[in-house]
């Protein structure tokens, strides 16, 4: 019986060790951000010129009915007006996407801009000088133009937004 008891103890220790190892590995895995998914979509779908269409409906895994995309220079007031609800998020040197469902923010993807180290994903809104620095889309019409460009061995990705609602 002693050997059997020892074998059970050793098996139990191995099982406990493997369980904790799985917890550590699961905890270290980073959830893919929406920015990462946009970049992967651009890589996967881009044509010879590095341009692709990106359907936000296809790459999001949460429910939403409206998104506001804003670029550096946007104000809380501009974003609030586009969302139809009060927005108080960070906007200083930040671009981003704010998703709402039933007039509640359900997801924010903030993309900081650092002048000395530009991020690999940038947002550019084609607009006139007096137009807001943000654009709103519905779930059905949120198809953006993505592009990639290589410069000095670094690939830069961008979203170009022209029109929305």
pTM: 0.76
Q: What is the pLDDT of residues 37-73, one digit of tens each?
A: 999 999 998 888 888 999 999 999 999 999 999 998 8
| Contact predicate 148/157, CB 8 Å | yes
pLDDT tens string 21-40:
344 444 434 467 899 999 99
Q: Which residues have CB under 8 Å from 112's CB, separation 6+?
A: 93, 94, 119
Taking the CA atoms of residue 132, residue 150, residue 58 and residue 27 in that order, the dihedral angle to the nearest 10 degrees is -100
Domain boundaries along the sequence of the chain: 1-30, 32-161
Q: What percent of the chain has pLDDT over 90?
A: 48
CA-CA distance, 54 to 39, in Å (whole number)?
10
């Amino acid at each position: 019986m002693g050997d059997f008891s020892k074998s059970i103890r050793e098996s139990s220790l191995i099982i406990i060790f493997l369980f904790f190892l799985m917890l550590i590995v699961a905890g270290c895995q980073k959830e893919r951000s929406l920015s990462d998914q946009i970049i992967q979509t651009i890589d996967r779908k881009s044509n010879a010129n590095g341009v692709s269409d990106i359907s936000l409906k296809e790459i999001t895994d949460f429910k939403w009915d409206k998104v506001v995309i804003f670029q550096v220079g946007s104000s809380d007031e501009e974003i609030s007006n586009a969302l139809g609800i009060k927005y108080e998020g960070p906007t200083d040197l930040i671009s981003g996407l704010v998703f709402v469902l039933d007039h509640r923010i359900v997801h924010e993807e903030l993309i900081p801009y650092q002048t000395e180290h530009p991020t690999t994903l940038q947002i550019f809104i084609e607009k006139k000088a007096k137009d807001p620095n943000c654009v709103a889309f519905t779930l059905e019409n949120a198809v953006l133009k993505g592009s990639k460009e290589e410069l000095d061995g670094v690939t830069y990705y961008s979203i170009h937004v022209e029109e929305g609602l």
